[in-house]
């Protein structure tokens, strides 16, 4: 009986524990990846398939054998008339897909050495070929991504950005310039040139356009001597301008970018220069020209057709990298500098500046790595950032009490210009923008509508993303009576009033002290005289009454006279009655 009962208890315990043991032993299921995909249209018009987290759907690229035999884009002869090919541009999207291959979702806390991002929570762009690189918001100057930002590199023909801006700021574009032997003697057939001949006459405008569009070294030298008188003098102007702009890691040796170990810059400095240059309207118009034609000159009977060396701007040199949002800026190449590209793109009111330095391009097709990395930077910017409106002119940002205002009128302030911020796209990011208003603690009347009263700054995760002046939206008159009262009160309580008043009081006290001192001395002298008189009287036996004694005698006489008069009056009255 006891054995049966014991078996029953063990069986019941076994049945109770079994489900628990299975639950402990069961493995925790792995979270399933969301494989939802969607189609995204890039700024260049290409269509890409992306996952729900915004990453591209990758395909393993196949190695292709290049048959491109085109020459270096920096050394193409100007005498050739380019033919505009119309081959299928669908290869552009294929190249983009290839450039994004092997992109890994790197953790924000484990960025590669030398790489920085303004928002580390974003997946960095796949910049795998450039020695140094940068993506900047052109409006604010914020660096969104960088790779070896301050590492010294050779600028090659991107040097001509500085040469051009000095020419535009210091020269007259209508000037006729004659090319000299000194300007052309260092130019070789291997250099990038537009075939300028000694004695050829060109306008400064033609020279600047030929230099920026076609990367002409000969044009750069001719410009330099025209502006400064010599190459060395112009180089001094270049370095002086670099210092003015804050390009602390840059030193120029020549105006065209020919290699010299002492001719160097950084990605940061090139961004500073390019952002500054793009504020010049003439510069902006020139650097986005796909083709420039120079008419016949005194040395050439026919026009010269110059095709922009920037493959983003057209299809004449290559159909692989035409990028409609591109608006410039400058290519560069030497064997020591590698292939460099300073480019800008504008899309949906957003402008980005991309810089890649020292890429090892192989051709102008699948292996033009400077364009692959630059495209990756632009895609990163346009895909991950958006403009968030913050304030418009007329919006009341704040209002404030005004000191000495008539009828206690307050002043309302609005932004001087519309303000928007470039922030990462995504839900909840706009709510992370903070506002900081900087205005004087005491605003004084009168205030006129439109007066600048302070500034407003907008920040995203501690990073300033926008700012504007704050201006008054209404007039505020001054209460003149209150103003006069405050002036009087201010005078009375002013140290400049107290000090003279204290000095005056001290002067009066000093004067009274001196007066008492004189009286005391006079009394002492009088006492001395009295003593001398007393001593003399004692010697003669007679004494002159003192003033006090004379007063007492006079008072007694008056009493006696008054008594006599009273007695006389009484006697008269007694006889009458």
Calpha distance 465→48 (Å, rounded): 29
- Give the pairing type, strands 385-391 and 419-424: antiparallel
The verdict on whether omega for the bond into residue 446 sits within 30 degrees of 0, i.e. cis, is yes
CA–CA gap between residue 332 and residue 553 (Å, rounded): 128
Give the active site residue among 132, 146, 160, 275.
160
Catalytic residue among 132, 146, 192, 215: 215
Residues 375, 56: Cα–Cα separation, whole Å: 14
CA distances from 350 to 293, 310, 325, 388 (A): 30, 21, 10, 11
Tell me how far apart the alpha carbons of residues 60 and 102 are, in angstroms, rounded to a whole number: 8
Strand pairing report for 443-444 and 398-403: parallel
Out of 42, 99, 132, 157, pick the active-site residue: 157
Angle between helices 231-245 and 217-228 (to 10 degrees): 90
Active-site residue, 215 included: yes
Angle at which helices 495-540 and 480-492 cross, to 10°: 50
Q: Are the C-beta atoms of 270 and 289 separated by less than 8 Å?
A: no
| Helix-helix angle 369-384:91-99, to 10 degrees | 80
Q: Quick one: angle between helices 204-214 and 160-170, nearest 10?
A: 160
399-404 contacts, C-beta under 8 A, 24 or more apart = 400/439, 400/443, 400/453, 401/443, 402/443, 402/444, 402/445, 402/447, 402/476, 403/442, 403/443, 403/444, 403/445, 404/444, 404/445, 404/478, 404/479, 404/482, 404/483, 404/486
Q: How far is C-alpha 40 from the chain's CA centre?
A: 33
Can you say whether the dihedral through the CA atoms of 502, 504, 508, 511 is positive or negative? positive
CB atoms within 10 A of CB 417: 10
CA Rg value for the chain:
47
Residue 432 neighbours by CB distance under 10 Å: 12
| Distance set, CA 245 to CA 168, 211, 250, 344 (Å) | 16, 22, 11, 20
Is 534 part of the annotated catalytic residue set?
Answer: no
Is it true that the peptide bond before 147 is cis, omega within 30 degrees of 0?
no
Write the secondary structure of 34-91 as one string of H (helix), E (strand) and C (coil). Answer: CCCEEEEECCCCCEEEEECCCCECCCCCCCCCCCCCCCCCCCCCCCCCCCCCCCCCCH
Q: How far apart (Å, rounded) are the C-alpha atoms in residues 455 and 439?
A: 7
- Going by the DSSP 8-state scheme, the letter that residue 186 receives in this structure is T
Known catalytic residues are 157, 160, 215
């Amino acid at each position: 009986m006891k054995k049966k009962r014991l078996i029953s208890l063990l069986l019941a315990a076994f049945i109770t524990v079994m489900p628990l043991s299975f639950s402990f032993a069961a493995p925790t299921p792995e979270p399933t990846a969301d494989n939802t995909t969607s189609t995204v249209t890039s700024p260049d018009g290409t269509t890409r398939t992306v996952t729900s987290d915004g990453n591209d759907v990758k395909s393993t690229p196949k190695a292709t054998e290049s048959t491109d035999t085109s020459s270096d884009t920096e050394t193409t002869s100007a005498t050739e008339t380019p033919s505009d090919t119309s081959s299928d541009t669908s290869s552009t999207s294929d190249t983009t897909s290839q450039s994004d291959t092997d992109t890994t979702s790197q953790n924000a806390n484990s960025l590669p050495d030398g790489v920085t991002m303004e928002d580390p929570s974003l997946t960095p762009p796949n910049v795998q070929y450039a020695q140094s690189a940068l993506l900047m918001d052109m409006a604010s100057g914020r660096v969104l991504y960088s790779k070896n930002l301050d590492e010294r590199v050779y600028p090659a023909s991107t040097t001509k950005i500085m040469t051009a801006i000095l020419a535009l700021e210091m020269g007259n574009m209508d000037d006729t310039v004659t090319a000299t032997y000194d300007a052309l003697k260092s130019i070789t057939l291997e250099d990038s040139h537009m075939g300028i001949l000694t004695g050829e006459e060109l306008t400064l405008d033609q020279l600047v356009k030929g230099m920026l569009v076609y990367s002409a070294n000969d044009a750069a030298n001719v410009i330099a001597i025209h502006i400064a008188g010599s190459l060395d003098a112009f180089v001094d102007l270049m370095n002086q301008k670099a210092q003015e702009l804050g390009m602390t890691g840059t030193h120029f040796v020549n105006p065209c970018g020919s290699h010299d170990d002492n001719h160097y810059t950084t990605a940061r400095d090139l961004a500073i220069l390019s952002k500054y240059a793009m504020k010049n309207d003439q510069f902006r118009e020139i650097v986005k020209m796909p083709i420039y034609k120079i008419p016949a000159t005194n040395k050439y009977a026919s026009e010269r057709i110059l095709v922009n060396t920037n493959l983003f701007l057209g299809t004449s040199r290559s159909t692989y990298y035409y990028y409609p949002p591109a608006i410039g800026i400058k290519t560069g190449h030497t064997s020591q500098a590698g292939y460099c590209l300073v480019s800008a793109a504008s899309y949906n009111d957003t402008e980005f500046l991309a810089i890649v330095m020292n890429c090892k391009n192989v051709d102008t097709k699948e292996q033009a790595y400077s364009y692959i990395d630059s495209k990756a930077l632009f895609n990163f910017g346009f895909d991950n950032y958006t403009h968030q409106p913050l304030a418009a002119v007329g919006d009341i940002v704040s209002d404030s009490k005004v000191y000495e205002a008539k009828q206690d009128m307050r002043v309302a302030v609005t932004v001087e210009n519309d303000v928007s911020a470039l922030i990462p796209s995504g839900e909840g990011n706009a709510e992370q923008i903070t506002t900081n208003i900087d205005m004087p603690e005491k605003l004084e009347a009168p205030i006129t509508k439109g007066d600048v009263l302070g500034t407003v700054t907008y920040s995203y995760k501690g990073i300033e993303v926008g700012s504007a002046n704050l201006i008054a939206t209404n007039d505020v008159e001054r209460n003149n009576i209150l103003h006069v009262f405050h002036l009087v009160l201010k005078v009375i309580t002013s140290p400049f009033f107290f000090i003279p008043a204290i000095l005056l009081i001290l002067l009066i006290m000093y004067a009274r002290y001196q007066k008492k001192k004189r009286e005391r001395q006079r009394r002492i002298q009088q006492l001395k005289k009295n003593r001398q008189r007393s001593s003399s009287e004692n010697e003669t036996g007679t004494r002159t009454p003192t003033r006090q004694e004379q007063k007492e005698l006079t008072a007694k006489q008056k009493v006696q006279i008054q008594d006599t008069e009273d007695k006389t009056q009484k006697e008269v009255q007694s006889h009458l009655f």
